[in-house]
Chains A and B, each alone.
Chain A
Amino acid sequence: MAVELLLGALVSAVPIMLAAYGEMVLERAGRVNLGVDGMMALGASVAVIVASLTSPSLGLAAGALAGALISLLYAVPVVYFRADQVVAGLALAFLSWGLADLVATLSVPLSAPIPQGSALHLSLLLLALLLPLVLWAFLYFTWAGVELRAIGYDEKAARNRGARVERTRTLSALFGGLMAGLAGAYMSLVLYQGKYFAGITSGWGWLAVGSVILGYWHPLGVALSTYAIGLVLSLRPYLEALGLGPLSVSAPYLVVILALALSSLLTRRLRLRPPTT
């Protein structure tokens, strides 16, 4: 049962993991996009529609692409026109939710699912597990990664030193959108077996945003924090069986808040420093 639980936690944690990796990279570059949940919803809806017309794998790609495209509505105003990032992110969230439902009306939002345990599903699990290592290598062992972190630590100093602030942030926001879109596509095609419905993300995009802080902006930390949240999500049925139904719904969010308070105690010892967003 334990193995089953741990694996099940991974399967349901994947969307939060993917979305959080994307958001983490953007936050390391010094910006926050609060539109993650909306971008996930759009990815979920576009994926189902495209998958119903073509194939599940193309649906997956289309969902990711939709997330990347819509993230430009955040990136361009914020990066180039200095719009307020909180307002832009929230606006993006609301716009994307609406857009997702609209897209879903184009055709019947039902498609062939990506079966759990299929090669495509396994490769997505692998991606969720390996990407943090890749991102870690990128951020800490390439000069482009150092440039990105420098921009996040001190925008003004980095700019004065010649770092390409706009380019880096736009690319990071695009990556964030891509990952959020992919996460949403995973939710509709894998977790909900090829269905899209309004409110499909059930706030998991917000869990992703929270888990970036919880993982202290470190790729491996975010991998752990998102997996922990997945674990709490998979414990829900057990909590309900114990008669803790209402608690089980709010448990993951509660864990995020508690862990946030605790994590700041650890960070100084680990020589980690949050970016300035």
Chain B
Amino acid sequence: MLLLERVTVVYPNGLKANDEVTVEIRGGEILALLGENGAGKTTLAKVAAGLLRPTAGSIFLDGEEVRFESYLQALRRGIYYVSQEPQLIEGLTVLEDVGLTLELGGRGRSRGELRRELARLSAKVGLRLEPEALCEDLSAGERQRVEALKPFLLGSRIVIFDEPTTHMSPLEARALGEIMREMRREGKGIVFITHKMKEVLELADRVVVMRRGRVVGELERSRIDEARLLEMMFGEVGRAAKSKGMREPGEVLLELRDVSAAKLRRVSLRVSRGEVVGVAGVAGNGQRELFEVIAGLRRAEKGKVLLGGSDVTSKGPGERARLGLSLVPEDRLGWALVPGLDVATNVYFALNHKRFFLDWREVRRAAESALSLVPIVGSPSSRVESLSGGNMQRLVLARELFREPKVLVAMNPTAGLDHATTVTVREMIVKYSERGGVLLISEDLDELAEMADRIYVMSRGSIVGEHAKPFDLEKIAEQMVS
């Protein structure tokens, strides 16, 4: 149905994101586009959807060559792209948002008609939908599913999902799988971008594997097997991070005493040198507030925060950083990294320097030595927002570890990362804990079990349990929802 032939995309910074990629999308089939972060999957999808114009190569729709000048043109020719962070427009209602897409896609209809059709369709795909709800009140998973409804109403023939399950619960992911199968029954061509092996094995009729901007392999349904796919993705089979042996923890580096603030209720915890301390919990139970209180961005209404023995309760983030606190926040861009600045400046920015004038050679040197800790794809002079999510996280980690902190506090450090980066990130954090203390706030219980020496369980803003190795995961999960 849609053929992308020898597509090459070179970004203005010289990064070759796609290198002569040829992929065919067929009707009535789910095609999985598999590869780790930065392999060029999203770039290819954006070319297909008219969001990016390729540097070279051709696109054929039903055998006829097309040139999409805009997303709107692709939309009107029956291609629908669901981006990784589904961009419903905050401020509009669900009905308005869906209606706007239909209007722009040349399939406009009245509010009344749309309301009826939404009700019918929601029943079909098993999704309860309140048309008058505001888009900003929807969870990421719900937004993704609202997006998934649009191609039915638009009559799109090709639907591209870009890592749709990143923010979904397993239940939501399964429901989305059903929607994809329904689309396949209707003869649509579905492209499913992912780096999760399990989803590929469950859903795909055909798999195209990408690595470093190139297609490195293609397998039909009957020949899909995990080991071969992994080999194609990584070149060599990826290893899992080894859990470390037991060590005696050293002096206490970070301590919270009876801290209350916003959602937090009398939270006490301590992190000592040489240990990784986990905080488990279902998202939204105060983890973000905990991170902010430790970072110095939110004031503790009651209680004390101690860093390396000194009271920092009333100190700001800058002072805490000087005392040896390093942060790996959940939001890479806009919190950990400043968009618009290049890689080197982003590294240098976070180091505490007192001189008035900048020495650009020194900036570069600092960046290079930081990046020697964790290599990234991309040069010190590339802008941070051009990096892939995985490379951003590597950069953040490289910078924070380069500062030789006393305590590293990380929140969901591997969310949305591919297998290879996840392994690197976990290894680096565990290795660092030999020299300092780590507080790992994570929604991924398996990650905590693998890395942590001790786990606190958080629920509704309180610490409801503390566990030592070996972990009783069932008990922890039970406390998480208590």
* B89–A143 CB distance below 8 A: no
* A153–B89 CB distance below 8 A: yes
What's the minimum C-beta distance from B2 to chain A, rounded to whole angstroms?
18
Partner of B75, one of A153, A162, A275: A162
What's the minimum C-beta distance from A229 to chain B, rounded to whole angstroms?
26
A134 touches B (CB below 8 Å) = no
In residues 145-170 of chain A, which contact B (Cβ within 8 Å)?
Answer: 146-147, 149-150, 152-154, 156-158, 160-163
Enumerate chain B residues within 8 angstroms of A152, measured Cβ to Cβ. Answer: 91
Enumerate chain B residues within 8 angstroms of A143, measured Cβ to Cβ. Answer: 99-100, 103, 108
* B134–A150 CB distance below 8 A: no
Q: With A and B bound together, what is the CA distance between A10 and B478 in angstroms?
A: 65
Q: With A and B bound together, what is the CA distance between A106 and B104 in angstroms?
A: 48
Q: With A and B bound together, what is the CA distance between A143 and B75 in angstroms?
A: 17
Enumerate chain A residues within 8 angstroms of B51, measured Cβ to Cβ. Answer: 160
A82 touches B (CB below 8 Å) = no
Enumerate chain A residues within 8 angstroms of B366, measured Cβ to Cβ. Answer: none
Partner of B87, one of A141, A147, A154, A275: A154
What's the minimum C-beta distance from A195 to chain B, rounded to whole angstroms?
44
* B134–A147 CB distance below 8 A: no
What's the minimum C-beta distance from B211 to chain A, rounded to whole angstroms?
27
Q: With A and B bound together, what is the CA distance between A147 and B105 in angstroms?
A: 12
* A160–B71 CB distance below 8 A: yes
In residues 258-277 of chain A, which contact B (Cβ within 8 Å)?
Answer: 271, 273, 275
- Interface size class of chain B, counting residues whose CB lies under 8 Å from the partner chain: 20 to 34
Number of A-B contacts (CB under 8 A): 60
What's the minimum C-beta distance from B346 to chain A, rounded to whole angstroms?
22
- Interface size class of chain A, counting residues whose CB lies under 8 Å from the partner chain: 10 to 19
Main DSSP-derived SS at the A contact region = helix
What's the minimum C-beta distance from B115 to chain A, rounded to whole angstroms?
13
* A146–B96 CB distance below 8 A: yes
What's the minimum C-beta distance from A162 to chain B, rounded to whole angstroms?
4
- 17 A-B interface contacts by CB (under 8 A): A143-B100, A146-B100, A147-B100, A147-B104, A149-B91, A149-B96, A153-B89, A153-B90, A154-B87, A157-B89, A160-B71, A160-B87, A161-B89, A162-B71, A162-B72, A162-B101, A273-B90
6 closest residue pairs by CB, A with B: A153-B91, A157-B87, A162-B72, A143-B103, A273-B91, A162-B104
Interface residues of B (CB under 8 A from A): 51, 70-72, 75, 83, 87-92, 96-97, 99-101, 103-105, 108, 111, 134, 136
Known: A147-B100, A149-B92, A162-B75. 20 other contacts (CB 8 A): A141-B111, A146-B96, A146-B99, A149-B91, A150-B92, A150-B100, A152-B91, A153-B90, A154-B87, A154-B90, A154-B91, A156-B87, A160-B71, A160-B87, A162-B72, A162-B104, A163-B104, A271-B134, A273-B90, A273-B136
